[in-house]
Structure 1
């Protein structure tokens, strides 16, 4: 439930490549833990209304980038702009208003085990909004319906949920404040192929109906091929390629050739898209 008059902290900037609006702009980013450099010189734009798939090898820093954009990991260098605002220059009040425009689904759901599903969904509402218990209950039930969970899931604890239900409950919590940008960290990890396909379809539907921008960290080839408008690939501590699937397939970078040119990847491609 946003008050847009209070939340318009800035105006997103156009992507210099084609003039499309970039709601997130990362430039010359360096992140390190001690002597271990995770990213160095990373540039990335996330466009309004797209599903951007962020892919890379295990341990290369995919989740670290998400947490850095969210301010959960300290960067050593570079700038991060969201909706045209340099996040380092925002005071605590403006930062709080900006955070209300985000929704975050962490890897494995990260639901609070001591809270019911309904109470988990209400956590962001309690933190940022002043609503009556009755209204919060109504909104939580709406979010459950939005992600395809039955009403009887509301009073269940996370331990009573299947893996797919946990993912949907975590997504419902991410949508609690009607965000404009949703960050998804390995959203289909651990799901069977049917469940993963259903989750991808849900994300695409929500993006279309709610006008969401989705930043999705994933290693799931099906998600990359089916759900994503563009893909950004992380290797060698920076983004080595960004664009539609065709860009990934055309790249000569060894990691991209191995990832998108292997048998598992080619089996997912229509014959006319396969390389010779």
Structure 2
């Protein structure tokens, strides 16, 4: 069976490689400022996400991790700065061009955000119905393939979200995020609420999907095990900006008080050892 994937718009071709590292940057944020009323959440924030990596984005509660992700996804407005995805400035694209570009990324929201009145299969098919012109039979087959890809049994397809465990909800949401064969996947606290075994299994799934499908993964998380196990790089959000990026070793060697407290605290002490 030929597997359909989301078509790429000819007007949004990849920028030509200039021979430098810029070609490997799949997401670039520069000078991003976001606020609510008189309160600034992010100020002059810069961030690069490289093609094929799993980037763990970490910060204290309420520092703006999810705010930045939602700003990148254009679910929240910014006051200043530029955001480029796949080499395209999002502010310079038309509505149709943005729609084409959005087909190249997928999103798993923190609580799954599945539609409660739809079955798992129907949830996975939502992006297909919105962007592709496929027969119902082909959508059914593709949805089952996506569910198998994330480790869910075929019988889960006809269940409703309320009939699933927390781990199954996460996997169903991930299947929906992969519905259009994206190149970039955003994960917002993907292991939140899962027991240690379930969280570990989900981390392994993410890494295997990255390796198998060639994904780039932007993962907002507070899970130290995830940061240690699957992330190629870590970005730390503090003081309204990306304070530090690097490997786990870079985090452990940092002298910044918050970074030391986070990575050398009671939960992080085993990593330092």
Alignment pair present for 1:191 and 2:191: no
SS in 1 for 2:45: strand
User: How many Å separate the matches in 2 of 1:13 and 1:54?
Assistant: 27
**2:114 alignment partner, one of 94, 111, 116:** 111
User: Within 5 A, what are the aligned runs for 1:186-265?
Assistant: 186-265=189-268
CA contact (8 A) 1:12 1:21 kept: no
CA contact (8 A) 1:48 1:213 kept: yes
Q: Which runs of 4+ in 1 moved over 3 A?
A: 4-10, 12-16
User: Within 5 A, what are the aligned runs for 1:167-186?
Assistant: 167-186=170-189
Shift of 1:11: 2.5
2:45 is matched with 42
CA offset digits 1:183-229 (Å, max 9, x no partner): 00000000000000000000000000000000000000000000100
Alignment pair present for 1:3 and 2:7: yes
SS in 2 for 1:263: coil
CA contact (8 A) 2:9 2:100 kept: no
User: How many Å separate the matches in 2 of 1:135 and 1:154?
Assistant: 15
Alignment pair present for 1:149 and 2:152: yes
- Root-mean-square deviation over aligned CA pairs: 1.7
Relative to the length of structure 2, the TM-score reads 0.95
From the superposition, tell whether residues 13 and 22 of structure 1 become closer, same or farther in structure 2 (CA, over 3 Å): farther
From the superposition, tell whether residues 12 and 203 of structure 1 become closer, same or farther in structure 2 (CA, over 3 Å): farther
CA contact (8 A) 1:6 1:97 kept: no
Alignment pair present for 1:129 and 2:103: no
CA contact (8 A) 1:181 1:212 kept: yes
User: How many Å separate the matches in 1 of 2:251 and 2:23?
Assistant: 20
Alignment pair present for 1:77 and 2:102: no
User: How many Å separate the matches in 2 of 1:170 and 1:102?
Assistant: 14
Relative to the length of structure 1, the TM-score reads 0.94
2:96 is matched with 93
Aligned length: 269
User: How many Å separate the matches in 2 of 1:15 and 1:44?
Assistant: 21
User: How many Å separate the matches in 2 of 1:208 and 1:12?
Assistant: 25
SS in 2 for 1:248: helix
Q: Which runs of 5 or more structure 1 residues have no equivalent in the other structure?
A: none
Shift of 1:71: 0.5
From the superposition, tell whether residues 15 and 48 of structure 1 become closer, same or farther in structure 2 (CA, over 3 Å): farther
User: How many Å separate the matches in 1 of 2:212 and 2:232?
Assistant: 16
